[in-house]
Structure 1
C-alpha cells in the first residue's frame, strides 16, 4: 500500500471532517439545494470509494476497474447537482475542496519528509484533477439533458393545436421554425386531426420572425402531410416582408391557401365548412350560423 492510500485509510475520519468544514465554510455553498446530511453522505461515500481504489496501488489510472465505483459516485453527484440547479463552479469546487482537505492532512503527517511529501502531493493532485474532469464532463452532460428536456417541453407548449370550430383547427406558431420543431408541429397537428376528425387546419405564422427557404420548406412539408390526412391547410400571418422574401427566394406557394391575417383565414375556413358569420342587433356581437 502506497503512502497516499495508507494516509487515506488511517485518517479517513479526520479528512472527512476537514473536507466538510471546507465545504460548509464556502460562502457559495447552496444549502438551499442540498442539506448538510446529504452533503456528508455524498462526501463519505466518495472518500470511502477513493480510499478503497488507491489501496490497490493505482493512483493514476482512474479508468481502471478499481475506480469504477468512484467514477459512478462522482457521476451520480454531478448529474444530480446539474438537475438541482448547481453551477459548474459549485460542482467543481466539491472535488477541489477534497484536494485541499487531503493535502492539509498529508502536509501535517509528512512534514519531516519534504521530498516524499512533494512526490505524494503531485500524485494526489494529478489523481484528483483527473477526477474533477470526470465531474465536469458528467455535469455538462447532465445540464444538456436538462436543457433538452426543457426545450422539448417548451416546444410542446409553444405549438398548441386549438379547436376553433367543429372541423376547424388552428395552430399558432411563435418563434423560429427549425427541423426539430417542425416535426413536433407536424406530429401534434396530425394527431389532433385524427382525434377530432377535422377537415381544415390553419397554420398561423404571425409569430415567426423571419421566413427563409428552409422555413418555407418546413411549412410545405406540414401542408403536404396535412393533405395526406384528408384535411385542407391554410397558412395565415403572411406579412408584407415575408411575402417579399418568399417571392425573392423563388419559393412557390401558389398551390397553398395563404392569408395575411388569422381573421381572414378563419373567414375562409368558415366558408369551406358552410358556416356563416353575421352581426346581431345586440351591440356588435357576432353569431355563427350553419
Structure 2
C-alpha cells in the first residue's frame, strides 16, 4: 500500500505516516531508551492501512536529555493529534521504556483503545539518564502527570556486572536486585493497568537480558484478569528484549548491552504477535 510521510517538528520531532486511503485507526509508535523515531515500525503499520505517528519523546529540542520526569502529557498530546487527524480507534505500540509510557498513558487517557506493549515492565522505574537539569542522580521518576512525579523504584547502585567490563553487559540482574532492595517501594510504583479501558496486548521474551519482561508481562496480565479486563500475552521463552515484527530488519548489536534472545527467536516472537496486533487494532479484539 502506498503511504505518505509528513515530518513533524513541533511540539516534538516525529513523522506521521499515513496510507493512501483514509485510516480509521491511528497508532502512536514509541521506541525505548534508544530515543529514536521508529520510522521503520511506523511505516510497517501504515502499509497495513493504519495511520502511524512515531515521535521523539526525549532527547529532542526542549526535552529532557534522558528519560527523566517525562510528562505523560507528551503522549496524550500525540493521541490527540491522531484523533484530530481523523482516527477513531487509537492504539499505542511501545517497546521497553516506550511500553512503560504506553501503559501509563492508557491508564490516564480514556481515548486510548489498544496498547501493544513489547518487552514491558509492570512498574514505574527511575530515570534512565539525566533530566532537564543535566543531572542523573539522585534518582527521580521516569514520568510525571500534571507536573507531579509518579511513584517509582530506584536502582541499587551496589550492583556490579558479572560479565567482563570490556564487552556488552546484561543488566537484568540489576533490575531484579533493585526490586529486592527497594521492595517497600514496588507496590506504590505498580502500573494499575486494570484502570485502563484499552485492550491490552503484551509481548515478551523469557530470555530478555535487559529486564525481566516476561515476569513483568505475566504480572500485568494477572492484574487485568483479576479485574475481568481484556488482555492477551504472547511469549517465547527463547526470545530477548527486542522482538521484531514481520518485515522489520534485525535489531543491530549494541557495544554496551546484551539484549538476550537470538535473531531467529526475536523474529518468531514478532511473527506470533503480528496477527494479534492487526486484529486488536482493526477489530477491537
Normalising by structure 1, we get a TM-score of 0.25
Q: Which has the higher contact order (CA 8 A, sep 6+)?
A: 2
Q: Give the number of the structure whose alpha-carbon radius of gyration is greater.
A: 1
- Higher strand fraction: Structure 1 or Structure 2? 2
